[in-house]
Amino acid sequence: MENKNSSFVKILEKKKSYIAMIFVQFSYAGMALFSKAAISKGMNPYVFVAYRQAFAVFALAPFAFFLERKRADPLTYSLMWKIFLISLFGITLSLNLYTYALNYVSATFASASINTIPALTFLIAVMFRIESFSVRNLPGFAKFVGLVVSLSGAMVFAFVKGPQVNFMNWSRAVDQKTINDSVSTLQHLSNKDVMKGCLLMLSANAAWASWLVMQAPLVKQYPAKIRLTMLQCLFSCLQSTVWAMTMERNVTSWKLQWDFNLFSVSYCGVVVTGISYWLQVWAVEDKGPLFTSTFTPLALIITAIISAFLWKEILYLGSICGGMLLVGGLYCVLWGKNKEAEIEANKEKPDSKEEITIV
């Protein structure tokens, strides 16, 4: 019995990065559902961002103080300024651009566009030479193909419908009402507005991808990850509050009551901004920014499944095929990453006489 427990613990220890990233995507799926409901009830999006960052700071502050009190090095002025700028051009810019872009694009496009983050992260990481890339070897080619397949799967998931899948005999009327609502909300938008929304959404994703890449060198300078995450949330909270006060001067928009809006803000702040950000910083240090971003497509699949059960949304064959492509592309990237790690580990072994060849 003890051997089984010890082997199970070893498996968990070995796969902890994967478990952490799956948890992060589940939390992001919950964020999409809860934030959508809160904003649709009339909560200002910029106020929502400011409050969620405040909840994150209060959730992380005790852990940052007690767990990393001795480990954290003193903050220099230059390092503090660097954390401030990374928070501004990463977290704050990404979240506020995303919420503003929702005024010009559909929710379907917003969900699909998030899956451009792995490709953007890969390009930015290659530019800064954090990730290696070569199609001449098999792992590098697998990473490239996986990213293309994953991005294609996201587009198929969002835009290719095909025949309906009558899951649990749900009515077609629900789906038709959803389609009619989506069309009516976009009819008043011009092509210029739609293009503006697409560019804003792409900019938000690029800002988030840049934030993921910037975590790798930052965590080397300041290894206290919980305190680092807390500081970024603190700066983002201050920046988002100033931005929200500039955009929304109505005092009543800032009032919180014991309702669903408070639950949504606290969930997004504590679970998503607090815990998930810290897990992502830890995963970036452990596996790199590309590994962290490749799990992004899972949130779209999880959101669709939860929406199907809670809101009885109709599933389409195109969405199912797109989900399969997403998962297939994800496994290609992870296989390439693992293969590269194995090759590097074998090269570092002084006693290894085995040659490693790649067809």
Name which residue leads in pLDDT, 16 or 80.
80
| Six-digit token string for 347 | 């090269």
Amino acid at 124: I
Q: What share of the chain is helix, strand, coil (3-state, %, to 5)?
A: 80, 0, 20
Rounded Cα distance between 238 and 215, Å, is 20
Predicted local confidence at residue 188, as pLDDT: 52
* HSE-up (13 A, CA, CB side) for residue 112: 19
Rounded Cα distance between 308 and 318, Å, is 15
Q: In angstroms, what CA-CA distances link 229 with 99, 137, 265, 274?
A: 22, 36, 18, 8
Domain ranges of the chain: 30-346
Is the pTM above the cut of 0.85? no
Name which residue leads in pLDDT, 304 or 244.
244
Give all strands (DSSP E) within the chain, no chain letters: 164-165, 315-316
pLDDT in tens, 239-288: 999 999 998 888 888 888 888 889 989 998 888 877 887 788 788 877 77
Predicted local confidence at residue 154, as pLDDT: 72
Asked if the model's pLDDT at residue 290 lies above 60, the reply is: yes
Rounded Cα distance between 243 and 258, Å, is 25
In the block, residue with structure tokens 């082997």: 7
